[in-house]
Amino acid sequence: MATMIEIETTDGPISAYRAEPTGEARGAIIVIHEIWGLVDHIKEVADRYAAEGYLVVAPDLLSRVGMDAAAGEELRALVMNPDEATRVAAQPLMREKLAPVGSPEFGAWATTTLTKVVDYLDAQSGIDGRIAVLGFCFGGTYAFALAAADPRVRASLPFYGQPPETAQLGAIACPVLAFYGDQDARLMETLPGVTAALKDAGVDFEAKVYAGAQHAFFNDSNAATSYDPAAAADSWTRSLAFLDGSL
């Protein structure tokens, strides 16, 4: 069963998608969306993990800055349009829409809000503190951030994300399994430094890099551009094993 819910935060309620397993939950997962917001693809990912036995909550972190699901889908269609002129013309709109996301104030708000999602899951019957976080791109960054901010998180799975500069990496007490494509030039350039910093901080960190895969390789709604079925299937299997071992 799946439904939209509201979760109380220090700054008013936020919407979230809640997907429930058919039987007793094996634990809980927070799924954090990409920069396009809480679109149908993320709900489908939540449903898939729920079908594996987890209670899943996918919070909407971007509607309050103007990137609701409808706006996100519209913008994604523009920046991934086969026509180069359309893609170029969409760049100013993308920068305008995403400008608030880069502010320190937004980062602090998002991390604090995610700890309230942990509060919500921690209070659910049968979860018993078995909480993981998983995110994609924008959400991958916050999968790192939440693990650093909240010691109740037992596992973190960032897909093509990197730790925010403000994160206290030494505070990450859970194992982290991160997924990347080797054609994702920006993240490949920073991965050695991220790996060294996490190692120096004593974090149990593993990075799985897929040859030939691009950024957003897991997103099957990008079938014409970046989706990589082999990398997506392998990372799915590895994520399930990691969750099983961690929760």
Which residues neighbour 117 within 8 Å (Cβ) at sequence distance 6 or greater? Answer: 7, 16, 30, 57, 59
* Confidence (pLDDT) at 235: 98
* Confidence (pLDDT) at 77: 84
Query: Rounded to 5 degrees, what are φ and ψ at 59?
Result: -75, 150
* Confidence (pLDDT) at 9: 93
Cβ-based neighbour number of residue 51 at 10 Å: 12
CA of 213: how far to CAs of 98, 141, 224, in Å?
A: 25, 19, 13
* Runs of H (alpha helix) within the chain: 40-51, 69-79, 84-98, 104-122, 138-149, 185-200, 229-246
What residue spans define the domains of the chain? 2-246
Nearest-CA neighbor of 159 among 138, 182, 190?
138
Q: Quick: pLDDT tens for 201-226.
A: 999 999 999 999 999 999 999 887 89
Query: Of all helices (H) and strands (E), which one includes residue 19?
Result: strand 14-19
* Domain range 2-246, CATH architecture: 3-Layer(aba) Sandwich (3.40)
* Confidence (pLDDT) at 222: 87
DSSP state of 99: G
Percent of the chain's residues with pLDDT above 70:
100
What does the alpha-carbon distance between residue 109 and residue 105 come to, in Å, rounded to a whole number?
Answer: 6
Q: Is the dihedral of CA 57, 58, 64, 70 positive or negative?
A: negative
Q: Quick: pLDDT tens for 158-184.
A: 999 999 988 899 999 999 999 999 999
* Confidence (pLDDT) at 98: 85
* Confidence (pLDDT) at 13: 95
Q: Quick: pLDDT tens for 93-144.
A: 888 888 899 899 999 999 999 999 999 999 999 999 999 999 999 999 999 9
Task: Report whether 59 contacts 14 (CB < 8 A).
Answer: yes
* Confidence (pLDDT) at 175: 98
Mean pLDDT of the chain: 95
Q: How confident is the model at residue 2 (pLDDT cuts 50, 70, 90)?
A: very high
* Confidence (pLDDT) at 82: 83
Work out the average pLDDT over 216-242.
95
What does the alpha-carbon distance between residue 105 and residue 122 come to, in Å, rounded to a whole number?
Answer: 26
Query: Of all helices (H) and strands (E), which one includes residue 165?
Result: none
| Between residues 20 and 165, the one the model is more confident about | 20
Using the predicted structure, report yes or no on whether residue 78 has a pLDDT greater than 80: yes
* Confidence (pLDDT) at 165: 87
The sheet with strand 153-159 has its strands ordered as 2-7, 14-19, 55-59, 28-32, 131-136, 153-159, 176-181, 205-210
Three-state secondary structure string covering 53-93: CCEEEEECCCHHHCCCHHHHHHHHHHHCCCCHHHHHHHHHH
CA of 43: how far to CAs of 93, 125, 208, 241, in Å?
A: 25, 22, 24, 21
What does the alpha-carbon distance between residue 78 and residue 97 come to, in Å, rounded to a whole number?
Answer: 13
pTM (2 decimals)?
A: 0.95
Query: Rounded to 5 degrees, what are φ and ψ at 123?
Result: -85, -5
